[in-house]
Chains A and B, each alone.
Chain A
Amino acid sequence: MTLTVSFTINGAPVSTAVHPETVLADVIRDEFQLVGCKVGCDQAVCGACTVLVDRIPMAACSTFAFEAEGRDIVTIEGLARPDGTLSAVQRAFLDVQGFQCGFCTGGLILLVTALLERDPDPDRATITDWLGSAVCRCTGYLAIIEAVETAARLNREVAA
């Protein structure tokens, strides 16, 4: 049995046939070749597969593809402007080297993007609270927290 689901991905409307038990991560990776969506734990723990679903960060490994029906999906490939200009969060992660192996990075950047949309100036506790839906085994988090604070500042500078 297959279902047809329609949604937008990085701004483009799409339709695809999926099994009922297919997860969003597989559709994003295999069907749309947006392999910046990484699968680490495959169980909604590590956040490597995080995508924005109607601007809410979701674990694509543990979201059924049919749940995307009618929604707006953003992956890491959809964050930079078409001319290649990085978003403030991407810029910040790059500038402070908020990554090592980078396997967690796409998911983290989307998670932080959603955080700053809700709270443009989060305090430490809010940041670590949000980072609770992600694991980075490489960095020890210091550089990631610095990246979040840097991104918030970049956003403010643009707004000012």
Chain B
Amino acid sequence: MSLLLPSNRIHPALPSHPEPPQQGGHAKVTGAARYAFDAALPGMLHAKVLRSPHPHARIRGIDTAKAAALPGVVAIVTGADARALALPTYGFTIQDQPVIAIDKVRHVGEAVVAVAARDERTALAALALVDVDYDPLPALPDPAAALAPGAPLLFEEPQPGFALPVGAGSTSRKEPAPNVLYEYTYTRGGVDAALDRADHVFTDSFAFSAINHYHLEPHVNVARFEDGRLELWSSNQDPFMLRADLSRIFGMPDTDIRVHTPLIGGGFGGKSYCKMEPLVALIAQKARRPVRLALTLDESILTLTKHAAELTLTTAVGADGRLLARRADIVLDGGAYCDASVMVALKTGFRIAGAYHWDALDVRSRVVRTTKVPAGSFRGFGGTQASYASECQMDMIAHRLGIDPYDLRVMNFLGPDEPFAPGDSAIDSDLKGGLDEVCTRLGYRAPKKAGHGFGLAVGIKDGGGTGNHAGAIVKVSQSGRITVLAATAEIGQGAGTTLCSIAADVLGLDAADARYGAIDTDVTPLNNGTHVSCGTVVTGSAVAEAAASVREEILAFAAEQLQCAPADLALEGWAVRRNGALHPLEPMVRGYYGGQGFAFTAYGHVKVPYDDGAPLRSQNLFWMPCWTGAEVSVDRETGRVTVHRLVVGSDAGRIISRRACEGQVAGAAIQAYGQAMFESLRYTPALQPENATPWTYRVAQAADLPEHFEVFVTEHMRGPGPGGLKGIGEAGMLSIAAAIGNAIEDATGVRVNAMPFSPEAVLAALDAADPA
């Protein structure tokens, strides 16, 4: 095992790589690709779920007698079954979410009854026969209502779990106040003194909206209990985290649980952490048959959202525009249950500093429980919320001081090699270089068209996770073909392609012949999950380590066969060179091992060490910038915003597949663009989700793209991964909404502080500023 540390050097440029062959690409264009959605077992039943119509209610009784009598119904599961589990709840560090509602429901869409039947049609018919007697309780529509003195409590008692440990300058508290799930703080320097001394102090608040992940493949699981083992085929992107959760919930040894992770049809955070997997397992246990539960998209929308948030920033600035200190109060709407809210709160708080130098910071980030759909991870754990508020305020400050927003950023940027915070790692991108590239591509210095506005924004987030670790196995067969085994799920990011390329690079073998093995917790080495853009760096480093060991093993074998020292040999394709002569390996292996051949096999494992001196208790592994520029115009009559140009860039450290990197940035950017322009999950005043159906929930389609949309990915060669690699998957979302908001202000002189920037919201802001 080796420790994986942030890189503090610039890697030498490598010869440019041809596009590596896409693992699984052929299957995806021919229909041969198999997803969790396609998993099927003999004798498999189909489950459907009855969901709460109330945002908050006590369950007085459930009558399932009529449903149970329906032919074809095999098992019915309610909170009574969940209560009998070793641990009936789940959630990341705070386990407050019941496997299925126990006594109470806390959001519309919460699972109350599940039926397994011979087909979905029968299961749905059975659900229609179930009677649930609810006693409605007062709803908590938003954090303000939940924080009000005397507000009804979502939970009467503290919930199981703990507050994630943190490092220097940070505090972490579980359930510190009524209806507050979690609070993170970070303090350094003297903010009060800095605010007193500063030439300017600006306080601004920003509202951020909730959206759904809308992965095209809904959540789907097939579970089977057999011979004392629980086996799952799951669209969950964290096979080992899921295994650990199931082990706690069912009180089973983790090795008695086997999770298979086929291809996943999109996730964006929506398929990370435990969701309905324990429920599917519970139904299968009760039915004594394999069970499949595939949610519909409607149900997926009621399963998880991105956190809506209110962020208030008080920022002290010198007369020259130098940023001095910032106080941030962040309130995240966590919805009914924890899910990954703890991580989101902590990361939003950590990231609110943005890409700039500060003398002092004082940050409080809270998650408040409300009776809405639980919020969890969404492509960057709070990074978008933080970048949005911080980058909007940068422009507002620039305008107030009469400084160009570009200049204000550049004068305050953290330089390469400057630590993000005391005790943390240094910035490993050239922030100004990336912003300059945006300005060039956008024509920021060219004269603006009448009525048009430009907006810039620079998001940044830490990447690679906190104390993460990963194992990988690399095997090389007698014919010189590579198999890579690792638990980073293939979710569209090209994990297999990247990891196979890394192994092939180390071995000097052909990546086209490398295969990414199926994920099966019985055989695949463990890692923390498919998260925080850590696949290429953390798992990739484990793959590189394993590949290097395999290489030694191959050379040692060949040296023995040729009766020389390994140091006399060089691996060249699938042969070894000794002095001038090339000795093919395949006959050598067959000669020694016989007809079946052999697989040289090695394990690699890397761990990011904990470090109490860093704010999040481990130095961040790498930094993910998002440079954005937008050009917009606004129709004064209708409030309609047209985005004429959108330029988005990020730094991959080093690029393995340019198309894959650009695709990640483009995809993330358009998700954020949709959120900025029109997409949001809305509720009625009675807290019924207003648009939680595919017909009413609008996501970006091709015709919605900006008139000109351009993506670039740089290689600053400073990442900690093999050859200077960094992760890139989450970056492209960070600063899109801020850049568009900033461009709207540049075009109209008005700050629109409501997301999305819909015609209604923009018109209201324009009218408020300039009543006709």
Q: Chain A interface (Cβ within 8 Å of chain B)?
A: 19, 34-43, 45-46, 48, 75-77, 79-80, 86, 90, 93-94, 96-97, 99-106, 109, 127-129, 131-132, 134-145
* Contact yes or no, B701 A132, CB < 8 A: yes
Q: Is the CB of A90 within 8 A of B29?
A: yes
Q: How many residues of chain B have a CB within 8 Å of chain A?
A: 58
Q: Which of A45, A109, A132 contacts B695, CB < 8 Å?
A: A45
Tell me, yes or no, whether B141 is within 8 Å of chain A by CB.
no
Question: B32-73 toward A: CB 8 Å interface, digit per residue (1/0)?
Answer: 111101100000000000000000000000000000000000
**Contact assessment for A100 and B492 in the assembled complex, using a CB-CB cutoff below 8 Å:** yes
Q: A97-B25, A139-B663 are in contact. Are A38 and B265 (CB under 8 A)?
A: yes
Extra contacts besides A100-B664, A103-B265, A132-B702 (9): CB < 8 Å: A42-B297, A94-B22, A99-B25, A101-B216, A131-B702, A135-B701, A140-B666, A140-B667, A140-B668
B705's partner among A34, A77, A128, A129 (CB-CB below 8 A) is: A128
User: Is B659 in contact with A75, judged by CB distance below 8 angstroms?
Assistant: no
Q: Is the interface of A mostly helix, strand, loop or mixed?
A: loop
**Complex A-B: 23 CB contacts under 8 Å:** A35-B31, A35-B34, A35-B38, A39-B37, A40-B218, A45-B694, A97-B25, A97-B659, A100-B663, A101-B215, A101-B216, A101-B217, A101-B266, A101-B267, A101-B491, A101-B492, A102-B33, A103-B265, A136-B216, A137-B214, A137-B667, A141-B700, A141-B701
Q: Within 8 Å CB of B705, what residues of A?
A: 128, 140-142
CB distance from A137 to the nearest CB of B (A): 5
Interface flags for B647-676 (1: CB within 8 Å of A; 0: not) read 000000000010110111011111100000
Please encode chain B, from 279 to 296, with 1 for each CB lying within 8 Å of some chain A CB and 0 for all others: 000000000000000001
CB–CB A99/B28 < 8 A: yes
Hey, which bits of chain B sit against chain A, CB under 8 A? Answer: 19, 22, 24-35, 37-38, 121, 213-218, 263-268, 296-297, 491-494, 657, 659-660, 662-664, 666-671, 693-695, 699-703, 705, 709, 711
In the bound complex, residues from chain A placing their C-beta under 8 Å from that of B693 are 43
Chain A contacts of B297 at CB under 8 A?
A: 40-43, 46
Whether A38 contacts B659 in the complex (CB less than 8 A), given A102-B265, A103-B265, comes out as: no
Kindly list chain B residues whose C-beta atoms are within 8 Å of the C-beta of A127: 702
Cβ-defined partner of B264 (8 Å) among A19, A101, A134 = A101
A97 touching B22, Cβ below 8 Å: yes
B31 contacts across to A, CB distance below 8 A: 34-37, 75-77, 106
Are A109 and B29 in contact (CB-based, < 8 A)? yes
Set A40, A86, A101, A142: member contacting B30, Cβ < 8 A: A86
Complex alpha-carbon distance, A105 and B213, angstroms: 18
Among candidates B213, B266, B666, B695, residue contacting A142 with C-beta atoms closer than 8 Å: B666
Residues of B within 8 A of A86 (CB): 29-30
Query: With the chains together, A34 CA to B266 CA distance in Å?
Result: 21
Flag if A102 contacts B28 (CB, 8 Å): yes
Contact of A140 with B703 in the complex, beta carbons under 8 Å: no
Distance between Cα atoms of A105 and B19 in the complex (Å): 20
CA distance in complex: A43, B27 (Å): 25
Verify A129–B694 contact, CB threshold 8 A.
no
Chain B contacts for A142, CB-based, 8 A? 662-663, 666, 705, 709, 711
B contact residues around A38 at 8 Å (CB): 35, 37, 216-217, 265
CA separation between A90 and B22, bound complex, in Å?
14
Chain B residue at smallest Cβ distance from A21 = B121
B266 touches A94 (CB 8 A): no
Q: Output the nearest chain A residue to B497 by Cβ-Cβ distance.
A: A97
How far, in whole Å, are A99 and B27 apart by their CA atoms in the complex? Answer: 12
Asked if A128 contacts B667 (CB within 8 A), the reply is no
- Assess the B29–A94 pair: CB atoms within 8 A: yes
Give the residue of B33, B268, B662, B669 whose beta carbon is less than 8 angstroms from that of A137. B268
> Contact at B22–A140, with CB atoms within 8 Å?
no
A38 and B701 CA atoms in complex are apart in Å by 19
What chain B residues lie within 8 Å of A77 (beta carbons)? Answer: 30-32
Q: Which residue of the partner chain A has the closest CB to B26? A: A94
